[in-house]
Amino acid sequence: MMNTKVRDLLNQQINKEFYSAYLYLDFSNYFKAKGLDGFANWYMVQAQEERDHAMLFYQYLQNENQTVTLEAIAKPDKVFASHMDVLRAGLEHEEYVTSLINDIYSAAYEVRDFRTMQFLDWFVKEQGEEETNANDMITKMELFGSDPKSLYMLNQELAARIYSAPSLVL
């Protein structure tokens, strides 16, 4: 039987992952409105990843014969003054999600829930990649964002990103 606190945190994470998808769709809308379709694509793919992350938590709870509780998803409400504001908000959000995953992992560790810890191992690694990607976006914008030709090339690079479903086996 799964610990109640661990189950509740896993359920909450489903909502947080769906919120992440909403947030990245909002980022995509921002860049689309600015004519940066490559950035918009990058965040659209990011939103797809977050939806899949939510479904992995959903499936894990179901596989563990736990009740899944779906909550309302909050509306993203930030207004951005610049492209860099969006990118920094992305890094801040990924750091927040990392803290959430770490909290679930800690709760599972406390009750010796090794199955959940093993499930979360993939997310721990994934969050490292997510933070690196967010940092890389900021670095590239700092280097190239003020030059229109370089921004165009960066936008083209980001347009090439395609969606690849997670390879986590439950």
Rounded CA gap, 152 and 33, in Å? 15
pLDDT of residue 164: 83
Per-residue pLDDT tens for 2-19? Answer: 999 999 999 999 999 999
5 touches 38 (CB < 8 A):
no
Rounded CA gap, 132 and 17, in Å? 18
What band does 168 get if pLDDT is binned at 50, 70 and 90? low
| Res 81 pLDDT > 80 | yes
Instruction: Name which of 41-45, 77-81, 164-168 the model is least confident about.
Output: 164-168
pLDDT of residue 170: 59
- Going by C-beta distance under 8 Å and a sequence separation of 6 or more, which residues neighbour residue 17? 50, 51, 53, 54, 57, 97
- Domains belonging to the chain, first-starting first, are 4-159 (1.20.1260.10)
Over the Cα atoms of the chain, what is R_g?
17
Q: Report yes or no on whether pTM surpasses 0.75.
A: yes
CA dihedral sign of residues 27, 45, 95, 72: positive
Name the helix (H) or strand (E) containing 68.
none
90 touches 137 (CB < 8 A):
yes
Of 72, 71, 78, 92, residue with least CA distance to 29: 78
Per-residue pLDDT tens for 144-167? Answer: 988 999 999 999 999 999 888 776
Rounded CA gap, 133 and 90, in Å? 10
Of 107, 124, 118, residue with least CA distance to 64: 118
- How distant is the alpha carbon of residue 60 from its chain centre? 18
| Res 169 pLDDT > 60 | no
Structure tokens at 91: 């890094």
